[in-house]
Each structure stands twice: as C-alpha cells, then as structure tokens.
Amino acid sequence: MSDTSLARRHRVVVIGSGFGGLFATKALKRTDVDVTLIDRTTHHLFQPLLYQVATGILSEGEIAPATRLVLEDQQNASVLIGGVEKIDVADRTVTSTHRGRTTVTEYDSLVVSAGARQSYFGNDHFAEHAPGMKTIDDALELRGRILGAFESAEVSTDPAERARLLTFVVVGAGPTGVEMAGEIAQLAHRTLAGAYRTIDPRDARIILLDAAPTVLPPFDDKLRRAAADTLEDLGVEIQLGAMVTDVDDDGLTVRDQDGAERRIEAACKIWSAGVAASPLGRQLAEQTGAGTDRAGRVLVEPDLTLPGHSNVFVVGDMMNRDGLPGVAQVAIQGGRYAAQLIAAEVRAHRKGRDKPERAPFRYTDKGSMAMISRFHAVAKVGRLQLTGLLAWLLWLLIHLVYIVGFKSRLATAMSWTWSFLGSSRGHLAVTEQQVVARTAINRLDAWEDSRAAPEAATASAR
C-alpha cells in the first residue's frame, strides 16, 4: 500500500460485481494498484441461487451481500455505483451514471465483466409474460407471480381458468430451468399441499419445455436420465423438442418436432432459455474490430483481451473463447487470470523490467452440478458422475464454502443453512412494488397510445 516506487499508481477499472469482476478485484488485493469496481447495483449476486429466492427458500439478502462490505477491508479497492454507458478504449475512460450524475473514470487496465441478460431470441415482447431470472427484482417478481397464481386459482370458479392458473411452464431445460421446475413442483406438491381450501395445489401442472432433445445438455447421458427421472418423480412434465413460437398473458404456443403447433394454457411462465451478452460487448467490438458471436459475446484473444488493446480484458458471460460455457467458474478463473497478468506487469514495470510473456488463459473444469430437489442433485467432477444424496451433499458443501468465503460470515452461513434445510419456506413474503410499477406502466402506455404520439422515452421506464 506504499507509494514509494511511482508517482502515480496503476489504475485498474473493473466493470461488474458478479463473479468475474469481484474475483478480479479481490485477486488484486496485494498489488500496488488502485481498483475501481463499477456496477449498477450495490450487491454481488450469487446468481445460481436466484431460483431459491423466487420459490421462497431464501431471502434476496442471503444471496446478495453488499459489494462494499465484501470489499471493506481491501484498502486499494473502491466501489462506484452506476450504470456504465460508454467505454472509450482510445481515451481509456469509462462513463457511468447514477441518479442522473455522470462520472468518467480513467483506467490504465480495464476488466470488463458485465455479464449477460435474458434473451428472447428477438421476441422481446415475450419478456412481459415470461420473465427471466437474472436479477433480484426478477426473482421477487416471479415469487409474486407464482404465489399469486395459487391465490387467484383459490377464488376462481371456472374450471378452465383454474387449470390455466395452476399450470406453470418453465422454458429452457438447462440447470436453471431444471432447478426452477423442481422447486415449483416441491412448492406445489409439498409445501403448499394443505394450505388452500378450494384448490389442491398438488393438482398443479409443472411443465419443463425445451427445443433441444434433452435436459441438462452440459451433462452426460447417465446424469441427464437421473435428472429427468427425479423431476418426473416430483411430478414435472418434461416436453422436449418443443419450440416456443409465441407467449401471451394466458399461455404459450409451441411447435413440436413434427412441425405441428399446439397451445398450452398457463398463467405463469418462466423463461430460462437463452442469454445475450451485455451490450457493452458490441460497443467494445465496434471500437476494436473484435468479432462477436450470435449471443453478442466478444471473441477475445488467447489472453482474454481485445485485438490491439492488451490492457482491456473481457471475462465471464460476455466473452467467447473456445466456446467456454457461461458458468461461474469460467468467470471466476477469467477474472483471476486478468488480475494476475495485471499484477505481474505492474511488478515488472516497477522493477524496470520488460513485460513478462503472457501465457494464454486455460480453463480448469472443476465440474458442474445441478440440484434437482431436496436431497437430490447431479454432479460431474472430472470423470466422476454422482447422483442423488451424495451429489446433493457435495452441492451443499460447495455452496456453503463459497458463502463462508465472503468475509468469513459464519452467521450468514448458519442463517442460510437453516433457511435452506428448514422444511417449510421461510421467505414467501410478496412485495407489491411489481403491481404498482405494472399499474403505472400500463396506464402510461394507455395514455401514450391514446395520444398516438410515441416517444423514445417509453422504453426507459420499463
């Protein structure tokens, strides 16, 4: 932390407080640099557990520690809250805004880890009817919709309407979709089983849809079959080779592999079918001539940098290098790798040496896992394939270790464990802000339609 060697310390800007950005920042703790971590939100988000917030197992606070508190003891790091609007790789500046105030931050090295958002493959109007699961607000919105469907069914007297209200469709059978479908099934068939008087929540249909011919594509056949069997035991209907062609308030239209279209009436739809990289990816690509893939991810050099800009790293879900998957480990390892290169070059510069040679980024696959239900998971660790209770215990252990890793917060870990192991759901409280926002926005749309004067500003309030 001393300022002996240089007049000005090397400035690192990190965009994004997700896995990539946070681990890049933490890895620079002992390096003589100033790190500024910029994010739109005030928290790090443990995204793989968002589905547990949506289904009432955890509270949003348990998976979203305040970034400032996580980095409190790292004196060379500061946190800037703001949405990044512009990166200028020629000027070496990042422009962000927070509540109308614009801040321009200069950098010597930049680590961009702005992640991905839900993608509807060009059908953005699906979003209103089938929210994705990328933010805390998404998860609370889904929690309100799932429980709201049961409440509306309880007071409905029309059998068709009641069936529609009790049909839940999860689009996308990757890990998030599988975990979400499993949890809704457990919520309906176990937690809420005796809670209603005119409906039986066990009548709820939970449908897991995917255009692909299999669940959990990243896993091998044995684990896929185990996952599908567990889901079916829970009462989840799995419909594969089924492509969603339309989504509206009352349900969705699906085209099966034989080309025939059919309709599923369902009040509550959840989208976990695809992601698109942060638009900052295209901004960087345009400035540097880097390519992007169909999901908008930047095709980076072997050292995760942009062509001709060896001081700009792109890591995590918004980069594409050899088709690595958009999982936490890729982001964490990418963030740490970028930090190590920056640290090595800062050290070399201070000692008056040449920049060291950069070894290309190599991803170490530590395995992958998905929790299907209480006491059931599937896990792949190297050549080892685990299912059932053993996989579930491994899942629990790894998540516990991760959570304790944040400032050794044993109290949080205990609280999380209790919430998670408790058989009833402690976090079913429904906020109403969604309703207020939706009411206001609907009225706003009506006003604007009635004036027939479309304005560019409409989109900004959504």
Q: Which residues are catalytic?
A: 179
Member of 82, 132, 174, 334 binding a second copy (CB under 8 A): 82
Residues 362-401 that bind a second copy (CB under 8 A): none
Figure out which of the listed residues 83, 194, 360, 405 binds a second copy, where binding follows CB under 8 A: 194
Residue 42 binds to a second copy (criterion: CB under 8 A): yes
String of b and e for 16-40 (b: at least 16 CB within 10 Å)? Answer: bbbbbbbbbbbbbbebbbbbbbbbb
> Please, which of residues 135-164 interact with a second copy by CB under 8 A?
135-137, 140-141, 147-148, 151-152, 154-156
Candidates 123-131, 357-365, 370-378, 453-461 — which segment interacts with a second copy by CB under 8 A?
A: 453-461
428 binds a second copy (CB under 8 A): yes
Range 195-214, binding a second copy (CB under 8 A): 195-198
Give the nearer residue to a second copy in terms of CB position, either 201 or 334. 201
* Shorter beta-carbon distance to a second copy: residue 121 or 418: 418
95 binds a second copy (CB under 8 A): no
Q: Does 441 bind a second copy (CB under 8 A)?
A: yes
Could you give the CA distance from residue 415 to residue 62 in angstroms, rounded to a whole number?
Answer: 8
- Pairing relationship of beta strands 116-118 and 275-277 according to DSSP bridges: antiparallel
- 191 counts as binding a second copy under rule CB under 8 A: yes
Q: Does 73 bind a second copy (CB under 8 A)?
A: yes
* Spatial separation of the C-alpha atoms in residues 448 and 208, rounded to whole Å: 37
Contact of 13 with 325, CB cutoff 8 Å: no
Q: How many CB atoms lie within 10 A of CB 216?
A: 24
Stretch that binds a second copy, among 71-79, 219-227, 331-339, 347-355 (CB under 8 A): 71-79
The span of 18-26, 72-80, 303-311, 386-394 binding a second copy (CB under 8 A) equals 72-80
Among 5, 30, 85, 98, interactor with a second copy by CB under 8 A: 98
Please report whether residue 78 would count as binding a second copy according to CB under 8 A.
yes
Q: Which amino acid is at 179?
A: E
336 belongs to the binding site for a second copy (CB under 8 A): no
Question: Which one among 122, 424, 452, 454 touches a second copy, defined by CB under 8 A?
Answer: 424
Distance of alpha carbon 447 from alpha carbon 425, whole angstroms = 41
User: Judged by CB under 8 A, how many residues of this single chain contact a second copy?
Assistant: 78
Select the residue interacting with a second copy from 432, 452, 456, 459 (CB under 8 A): 432
Tell me which residue has tokens 């192991």: 421
**Quick one: which segment of 53-61, 250-258, 322-330, 332-340 binds a second copy (CB under 8 A)?**
53-61
Q: Least distance to a second copy from the beta carbon of 91, Å? A: 20
Among positions 11, 68, 366, 374, the unique one binding a second copy when judged by CB under 8 A: 68
* 104 in contact with a second copy (CB under 8 A): no
Is 54 one of the binding residues for a second copy (CB under 8 A)? no
Q: Is 56 a binder of a second copy (CB under 8 A)?
A: yes
**From candidates 10, 26, 43, 92, binder to a second copy by CB under 8 A:** 43
